Amino acid sequence: MEAKKMIEVAVKILQKNNYKITKQRISMLEYLSHFQEQYVNVAAVDKYMHEIYPGMSHNTIYRNIKEFQEVGIIEQRTRDGIACVKYQCDFVHQHHHHFICKKCGKVQEVQMCPLDFFEKQLPGCEIDDHHFELYGICADCIRLGKN
């Protein structure tokens, strides 16, 4: 999906959830739309927003990131203690998993969910959330000899 369309979808999601559409939120969406196939450090988002809006508080930036994540506009993860986000890659099927290239950082969606496999191993348990990621070297990096 092209960036402009993704921003339109995100704005509709924000409006549906009763969030005001501000120039700061639009700027953040525009920046984040460049990260559909890889995660970006939250500190980089904060730095970018401060370059455009020097008076914008860190709390406001982080609150917006949290709100975007809560309504499904972005995906968030923590790796090695560092919070990272990326634009939601599938607004229709928000529950999905990823393969993440350890060389270039490219993220690819994985359609299959392994939850049934684990539920069978845990009879009587109730699983209320899960997160599944595969790591390795993507086909492009292998082809270019980056492994």
Annotated binding site for Zn(2+): 101, 104, 138, 141
Q: 41 is written with which tokens?
A: 């450090």
**DSSP state, 92?**
S
CB 69 within 8 A of CB 44: no
Known binding-site residues for Fe cation equal 95, 130
Do residues 90 and 126 touch, judged by C-beta distance below 8 A? no
Residue 100 three-state SS: strand
Query: Residues marked as binding?
Result: 95, 101, 104, 130, 138, 141
